[in-house]
Amino acid sequence: DAKTTQPNSMESNEEEPVHLPCNHSTISGTDYIHWYRQLPSQGPEYVIHGLTSNVNNRMASLAIAEDRKSSTLILHRATLRDAAVYYCILRDPRSGGGADGLTFGKGTHLIIQP
Amino acid sequence: EAQVTQNPRYLITVTGKKLTVTCSQNMNHEYMSWYRQDPGLGLRQIYYSMNVEVTDKGDVPEGYKVSRKEKRNFPLILESPSPNQTSLYFCATGTSGRAPPPYEQYFGPGTRLTVT
């Protein structure tokens, strides 16, 4: 799977939007972009995924650049409960054989100030 | 309610004393996996299972064993634990990476293991 680059940490204020960037300049045409987050003392949880078009769900929005070399996870109104480490992960459905697992990088530690 | 359960949640043991960490899921998923998480190293996959009786090594399998006799259970076995296996362990379940996206994996609450 291709590599992703995320800032180590970001800080935001409660009830403000948060834009978490992810660079994936070596993304292949079949890589899906996934975002997971890990709340303190919990296992990671799925947030959202996309291929080319922007996506919305109840947790967040995913904005994907036209060239797909970057994406942004958008939390529209951050709360203290959104403080977590956010991981941007690429996954190619064609990559058989391998671990079928998710390759987690270091992610972005999001700090929410009250 | 969809659940992945792990037991125990916390364990302190001594070097060489065999232990098993259990993982159970109620989502009828074929794919199950074990990860360990260490500061500065992130999450790394230990073993995974694509289905009953099918297991394979992940990135860091040394010192671990697994079994998959039933679809819902995927225990992690440390035959002779050593201090370098002190870590936070997560079990995960989900759809196979070969299935259509999303690759939504559900993680258990974690087991914090300390080997002295």
Phi and psi based region of residue A99 (left: phi greater than 0; alpha: psi -120 to 50; beta: remaining) = alpha
What average pLDDT does chain A have?
90
Q: How far does the CA of residue B11 sit from the closest CA of chain A (Å)?
A: 15
Show which of residues 22-41 on chain A sit within 8 Å of chain B, judged by CB atoms. 32, 34, 41
pLDDT at A68 over 50: yes
Nearest-by-Cβ selection for A99 from B58, B98, B104: B58
* Residue-level pLDDT at A100: 58
Q: Is any Cβ of chain B less than 8 angstroms from the Cβ of A106?
A: yes
Q: How many CA atoms lie within 13 A of A53 on its CB side?
A: 2
Better-scored residue on pLDDT, A96 or B80: B80
Query: What residues contact B68, with CB distance under 8 A and at least 6 apart?
Result: B32, B49, B51, B52, B53, B54, B55, B74
Q: How confident is the model at residue A91 (pLDDT cuts 50, 70, 90)?
A: confident
Residue linked to tokens 């003392």: A41
Report residue A71's pLDDT band, with 50, 70 and 90 as the boundaries: very high
pLDDT of residue A94: 63
CA distance B94 to B4: 10
Q: What is the 3-state secondary structure (H, E, C) of B54-116?
A: EEEECCCCCCCEECCCCCCECCEEECCCCHHHCEEEEEEEECCCCCCCCCCEEECCCEEEEEC
| CA dist., res. B95 & res. B77, Å (int) | 23
Mapping DSSP to helix (H, G, I), strand (E, B) and coil, where does residue B1 land? Answer: coil
When pLDDT is cut at 50, 70 and 90, the band that residue B1 belongs to is confident
CA distance B105 to A104: 12
